[in-house]
Amino acid sequence: MTKGNRKIYIYLVAILAMLFWGMSFVWTTIVFKYYSPITTVFLRLLISTALMFGGLKLLGKMEKIKKGDLKLFLVSSLLNPFLYFVGESYGLKYSSPTISAVFISLIPLIIPVVAFFSLRERLSKLSIIGLIISFRGIMMMLINKDLSLNATPAGIAFLSLAVLTAVWYSILLKKLTAKHSPFFIIATQNLIGTIYFLPLFLIFELPEFLLVIPNFELVSSLLSLAILCSSLAFVFFAMSTKEIGVSKTGMLTNLIPVFTAIFSYIMLDEYFSINKIAGMAVVMIGLFLSQINKTTQVIQYTGT
């Protein structure tokens, strides 16, 4: 493969990762027709964990948790995937896929702000401007001209929980990446997250789960979440980050809410008002500005 073809291939792989993560909000909404959020996340993590550890075993990349890191794994897994997925899933349940995706897209904007105060990392003026503009866009999407909301207060609260836990998780993750590979970290945190969700699933949702008769729509959407979004997308993301760098790959994450909006309209008949479209455009501008000339970035896991 020539150098030029290789670059095109890597960009296509990166865009596929963003497509899968954008579609995750659509597939999750479909699964919610059958299962509650806890069951959905539990099954998604269970399948993904099996796939990722199976891959690590086949590739001979299995690791052991280094001494002293177990507590860090337990705490970081409590933040993400546990609290993050609680926030994202219930936020999605009480809002729309597009609003949820745009809300979650704020995570890479907020991370540098928190990193500035907690890790003393450099914070550019464009990052601050991008964050302010994006928040303005979010408000445009959430608030109608008559001051009514396009999402319930509960939905906004849960999505805010997802954003905040993902931000703090990213700070802890930076400590782990110095000692372990990203794939092992994600696989281990998915495993711990599955264990955290297990009691909730058994106590509150097992009877409801047993009543559901799986069909093609349910199984295909759930497998897509586990295989494409929680596993393969991370492989593609890591490949693109290695080949074209963090900044260029980060720019492509702006496509996630765009893909969500397109497929929400096609598959879920989501309604888009002028205000909603304009708000999404403003958020995209803010995200784009925040990525320009970015020299530092905290490794993050969005959870999608």
For the packed helices 125-142 and 274-291, what is the interaxial angle rounded to 10 degrees?
170
In the structure, what pLDDT confidence band is assigned to residue 296 with cuts at 50, 70 and 90? very low
pLDDT at 119: 64
pLDDT at 200: 97
- Comparing 201 with 166, the larger pLDDT belongs to 201
Look at residue 164 and tell me whether its pLDDT is greater than 80. Answer: yes
- Comparing 28 with 286, the larger pLDDT belongs to 28
CB atoms within 10 A of CB 54: 12
pLDDT at 105: 84
- Comparing 63 with 123, the larger pLDDT belongs to 63
Look at residue 303 and tell me whether its pLDDT is greater than 60. Answer: no
pLDDT at 109: 76
Angle at 143 between CA 277 and CA 266, to 5 degrees: 35
Look at residue 117 and tell me whether its pLDDT is greater than 50. Answer: yes
pLDDT at 295: 44
pLDDT at 247: 62
Whole-model pTM over 0.75: yes
Q: What is the mean pLDDT of the chain?
A: 86
pLDDT at 29: 96
Q: What is the pLDDT of residues 72-102, one digit of tens each?
A: 999 999 999 999 999 999 999 999 999 999 8
pLDDT at 74: 96
Cβ neighbours of residue 143 closer than 8 Å, sequence gap 6 or more: 149, 150
For the chain, give the secondary structure using H, E and C: CCHHHHHHHHHHHHHHHHHHHHHHHHHHHHHCCCCCHHHHHHHHHHHHHHHHHHHHHHCCCCCCCCCCCHHHHHHHHHHHHHHHHHHHHHHHHCCCHHHHHHHHCCHHHHHHHHHHHHCCCCCCHHHHHHHHHHHHHHHHHHECCCCCECCCHHHHHHHHHHHHHHHHHHHHHHHHCCCCCHHHHHHHHHHHHHHHHHHHHHHHHHHHHHHCCCCHHHHHHHHHHHHHHHHHHHHHHHHHHHHHCHHHHHHHCCHHHHHHHHHHHHHHCCCCCHHHHHHHHHHHHHHHHHHCCCCCCCCCCCCC
pLDDT at 92: 95
- Comparing 21 with 272, the larger pLDDT belongs to 21
CB atoms within 10 A of CB 267: 14
Q: By mean pLDDT, which of 86-95, 171-180, 264-273 is the weakest? A: 171-180
Q: What values do phi and psi take at 149, rounded to 5? A: -100, 145
pLDDT at 299: 46
pLDDT at 298: 42
C-alpha–C-alpha distance, residues 94 and 142, integer Å: 13
Look at residue 300 and tell me whether its pLDDT is greater than 70. Answer: no
